Chain A
Amino acid sequence: MLTARGLTVAYGPVKVLHGIDLDIASGEIVALIGPNGAGKTSTLNAIAGLLPHQGEVTLDGEALPTAAEEVVRKGLALVPQGRRVFPTMSVEENLLMGAYSKGARWKGSDERFAPIYEIFPRLKERRRQEAGRLSGGEQQMLVIGRALLSQPKIVLIDELSLGLAPKMVLTLLETIQRFNAEQGTACLLVEQAATAALKIASSAYLLQRGEVVYHGPAARLRDDVDVLHSAYLGQGTARRESAIRR
């Protein structure tokens, strides 16, 4: 469904993404993992139209626009890093903004928000509260819920687990899994701490210094710790490192 061919991103003369290829099928959950600075976030931002890039990105065979405000209208939603809620707006208003690209108004918003409130009941309790005053976990719920309200075919989530308690991460991932199963929304999860994401993903990409070094079933990465470690720590040191850890 979502395909990228030769995706290249450069900050001035410095290339951070060296023409990678990605394929995500409809309804699939894919993990994009890799060490710090591998180019994961750049990949997401390029696809979502926040970063200028070269290469071809298509959704359902149609080329995606290059401006973020247009990409979302095509059915691709990005949840950026850092829980970017609209802090002075209420939870409800944040959610309405999520449905902005669908032409949402207050009229009929209750029905629209119902599925989100169902998966995140905490949001319903706090729907009139300022988003800036929510806890970190609640804010992450809100940004995910907000992204889902644009009724995307695929949602890209950047560093879901960053700064959250492990239990909260687990809850969120389970929710995503459930939503995926119910609604068939595809999901590209970017994670530095890979383990949790690999549990729910069916396939995985391993990114290293701007290049894809592994593409295959998520289960293999999850089980073969050595592959993962070599990716994060570089060849040679991997085995020793993992030995020490054991």
Chain B
Amino acid sequence: MAYLGSRRLFVLLTAGALASAACGGSAAQRAALKVQSQNQAGTNAAAPGGGGYSGGDAGASAAPAEAGAATSDVAGSSPGAGASSSGSAASPAAGSNSAAKSSSAAAQPATRSAAGSSGGSGAQSSGAGAGKVLPGGSSGPTPGAPTPGGPPGAGSAVGGATDVGVTANSIKVGHIGIYSGPVGSFGDDLSYAGRAKLQEINDSGGINGRKLDVLVRDDAWDGTKGMNAARDLVEREHIFAFCCIMSVNTSDPLTPYADEHKIPHIGADGWGEPQYKGAWTFPVSASAVTEAHMLAKYQAEKQGAKRVAIIYINNPTGRAYVKAYEEVIKKFNGEVVFSQPATFDDPGTTTFIAQARTQNIDTISTYLDPGIFTRLVREAAAQNYKPKNAFSGAAGLYFQVTPNFTGPNGEGTIAATHWVTNDMDTPGYRAYKAVVEKYYPKIDHSTWTKGGFVGASIFGNALKSLGLEVTRQRLKDTVDTLSNFETGLGPNISFSPGHHRANKTIYLAQIQRSGDKFEFKYIAGPLVDEYAETN
């Protein structure tokens, strides 16, 4: 009995930890593997080099390592975990000269493509190597970080270390993406467009002679992990600024932190309302609240929505979505009859449909990812139920995987997006696509790939306009007066001090049959949110 007892004890102690590792770790791995296949598939990719990743601790880490000159990926949010942590780990002795050399070396991807490009199962082993071998990662003059108080005037003449994270030939940029976790399987795409743009900036000469040195971290769509990564990037890696973070769960808490440390946070996703309260945060995509406003208005006006039920992922943005939808639908004499949170592993989708059916709901709106949404739609089909006005949802649905998954049952679903829809095929969209697919040929173009791209473009342009005197304050001031930046993807972007709600534009797309496939097709927009707050 004692034998059994101890065995049970072991089981109890380990079970919880293993269960959580099972979920997090797997997602991390699949993100890494996915990148590998992206790279392998990339026929016209400029730098088809490494694809290794280092698994520091199972849940948190694993960011794919790109071979590009500017991008040194760092896995593991704890300093100890990442053997591959860039900058300092590579070579403390590497001064500014070596950074210059490494940039030129980086122009020849063939010289180091060996690092971590071996196939699937070996992925874990190559991480440490990738970090050290990639010269792009080793530009950090971390030991002797430049004094921000240095004379700006002198700096402008010769360039040099004009501010934290800036050297004569590099600018250290922090990026946090969704590479693992519950939405990691498509979350990683959200990062790639912004990173492609930064890469393109480097490949076409950089910023007035400086290369962007992009440090990439994973937040697994978890704000706590994201903030750990952010602190590490700021306090240990001494980055200059954050760019194009498309994970709402990190962008929200990062906003007050950026203000506190006076670090530019350019091109945030803008999905969460807290991002509009920061002086140093510049969101480019629209808020979930704006999506809810426009969807409610459209559905009330065009579809006659009166009795609405909402199912949502239970996070602050999800709750804000419900509230915002309710506010606007009331103006049209409709009501949100009930709302319910959903998770990946409970009967929520089923009970929601059962309720909707009994309560005579005409419209179902959602704040979900494609996976749970698909379950919802299937459940409705199983119960032989379709709401009169079909389903609608926040930009979380605007991925090609959604219609792929839902098939005919999802027909009629309306999703919000903040930029021109893919089927509009404008010249701006084609230009965007050309840049992104040069580096990431198999990306699912969504609201946030476009947002990340726009964010990176604004970031690059603003930096270039600074000349050689690159400082955080000057960058912030420049972006703060950005006027009518042409995105080519719909709304143009303008900021003014205290007014960072630059994108209040919504396009609506609907899942429609196209041959034997189902695709999102443009149905409305641009719709400008007249209910939005004015900050």
Chain A residues close to B by CB (< 8 Å): 87-88, 132-133
Contacts and interface: CB of A to CB of B under 8 A. Distances in A.
Interface residues of B, number: 3
Contacts of A132: 1, 4
A59 B1 CA distance: 35
A132 B4 CA distance: 9
B512 to A, nearest CB: 58
B11 to A, nearest CB: 14
Interface in B1-26: 1, 3-4
A88 B3 CA distance: 11
A87 B6 CA distance: 13
Nearest to A82: B3
Contacts of B4: 87-88, 132
7 contacts: A87-B1, A87-B3, A87-B4, A88-B4, A132-B1, A132-B4, A133-B1
Contacts of A133: 1
Nearest to A139: B1
A191 B4 CA distance: 27
A139 to B, nearest CB: 10
A133 B3 CA distance: 13
A132 B1 CA distance: 6
A132 B3 CA distance: 10
A133 B1 CA distance: 8
A36 B475 CA distance: 83
Interface string B55-76: 0000000000000000000000
A133 B4 CA distance: 12
B465 to A, nearest CB: 74
A189 to B, nearest CB: 25
Nearest to A133: B1
| 7 nearest A-B residue pairs (beta carbon) | A132-B1, A87-B4, A87-B1, A132-B4, A88-B4, A87-B3, A133-B1
Nearest to A88: B4
A167 B476 CA distance: 91
A87 B8 CA distance: 13
Nearest to A131: B1
A203 B3 CA distance: 36
Nearest to B3: A87
Contacts of A88: 4
Contacts of B3: 87
B6 to A, nearest CB: 12
A87 B1 CA distance: 7
A241 B3 CA distance: 39
A172 B136 CA distance: 79
Contacts of B1: 87, 132-133
B1 to A, nearest CB: 5
A91 to B, nearest CB: 15
A72 B275 CA distance: 75
Contacts of A87: 1, 3-4
B384 to A, nearest CB: 46
